[in-house]
Structure formats: C-alpha cells, structure tokens
Amino acid sequence: GAVVSQHPSWVICKSGTSVKIECRSLDFQATTMFWYRQFPKQSLMLMATSNEGSKATYEQGVEKDKFLINHASLTLSTLTVTSAHPEDSSFYICSAITSAAYNEQFFGPGTRLTVL
Amino acid sequence: SQQGEEDPQALSIQEGENATMNCSYKTSINNLQWYRQNSGRGLVHLILIRSNEREKHSGRLRVTLDTSKKSSSLLITASRAADTASYFCATSGAGSYQLTFGKGTKLSVIP
C-alpha cells in the first residue's frame, strides 16, 4: 500500500514550452502533497506544499507563476513548469501524506525534466 | 529552517563491512527520518526516530539520535552490494509535516 506514481518519468522539451507533471496516490487519499526539486548530486529541496482544494504554499525563492501547482482531488496533484528554460532541467519528485500517518511521506519515483 | 547535513559525503566499503553515516541538524525537531535513493529514482523510507527516542532498529539498520548534540547516525551492518545508494536524513519540526533534507551520503558497497 501507500504507492505514489508520477507521470511522465522523463520528459524533454524545448525552451519556452510548458510541461505538466502528474503525481497520483494510487491506493490512498493524500491530504497533502509536496513537490521537491533535486539537481544532480544534490539533495531534495522543497518547492511547495499542496493541500487538496486550496492554493499551494510555496517556499521562499520558488516562483509560483512559473511552477503552477493544482491539487484538484485527494489523489492527484499536478506541477506545471511554464515557459521552461534550461536551468529548470532537474529531477522533480512528489510525495504525499495521509491523515492517518502524518509523519511518513510516500515518495513518487520522480520525473526527469530536460529543457533544451 | 533546519537543515540536516550528512557526513561523509561519500563512503566506499567492501561487502560485508558495516557502514556508518552521520547527520547533524540545527534546530529542535519532532522526528528524524532516513531515506535511501537509488540513482535516478525516488526515495524509499527506511526508518523514523522520534525526538524522545535514542535508538531504533530495523533489520540490518540501526539509527541513533542524540538531541543534545543535534545529531543522528545510521548504521548498516553486513553491507551488501544492493545497499549501494545515496542516503539522506530528513527532519521535521513540531506541528509541521514538512521535511528538510540533508545533503546525503553516497554509499558504494564493493562486491
């Protein structure tokens, strides 16, 4: 149980285009989802916290107009990278928590974004 | 914000040896967790230790927590080649679900 999926697993896009990444909790309802970014050989940096039905809370330094987050249901959150640039190339990972186990985050497998 | 820092940054050992990784953080915490990440993959939760606990075991894993020193260690006993991965500690504060990750230790277990 507690499986989180991400789609796509990798994507290559041209500079200036937008890319949408989906994060789904497959067998549980996720009250909160988190989006992280990880650059090569570095740690995970929290980008934003997403609660179902409300606006996401962004971490300092993360542009909310560039990284659009939608959490329309208890099983799906999406991250859209708008007007992508090469510096947005990174590994994006989502995680989810349930109301029954706030302490444990269940992580998706990640999405590798490459912007040409 | 609190940030975990692991040391060493990289560790290379022979199969069968024990591997010890350390993590330090800056502010008070509610709990500390250890995760494993295989190259290019998502994170796998290994173990959670609460602020009022000092030691926890799970299979070949042993985690200690010293809140007075704001540090934790992860010991993997009898390492296997399959243990090769990056290991991260992550902390969360009281009343927060958010995790703050350390920089990680890259462990290589040589067969």
| DSSP string of A35-90, one letter each residue | EEEE-TTS-EEEEEEEETTSPPEEPTT--TTTEEEEEEETTEEEEEE-S--GGG-E
- DSSP bridge partners of A45: A37
Tokens standing for A93?
A: 């990972």
Q: Which residues of B touch A103 (CB under 8 A)?
A: 30-31, 33, 48, 92, 97
What's CA A48's distance to the chain center, in Å? 8
User: DSSP 3-state assignment of B36?
Assistant: strand
Which residues 42-101 of B have a C-beta within 8 angstroms of A?
Answer: 42-45, 48, 88, 92, 97-101
Give the Å distances, CA to CA, from A25 to A49, A52, A73, B24, B63.
15, 12, 10, 31, 29
Task: Give A105's contacts in chain B (Cβ within 8 Å).
Answer: 45, 97, 99
Contact B42 A46 (CB under 8 A): no
Tens digit of each residue's pLDDT (9 = 90 or more) over B23-65: 999 989 999 999 999 988 889 999 999 999 999 999 999 999 9
C-alpha torsion B106→A39→B3→B77, nearest 10: -20
Residue B4 has pLDDT above 70, yes or no: no
Interatomic CA distance for residues A79 and B97, integer angstroms: 20
The residues, any chain, with a CB within 8 Å of residue A61's CB and separated by 6 or more, are none
Torsion region of B59: left, alpha or beta (phi above 0 gives left; psi -120 to 50 gives alpha): left
Q: How far is CA A36 from the centre of its chain?
A: 6
pLDDT tens across the length of chain A (116 residues): 689 999 999 999 999 999 999 999 998 888 899 999 999 888 899 999 998 888 899 999 999 999 999 988 889 999 999 999 999 999 999 999 887 666 788 999 999 999 99
Alpha carbon of residue A11 to chain centroid = 14
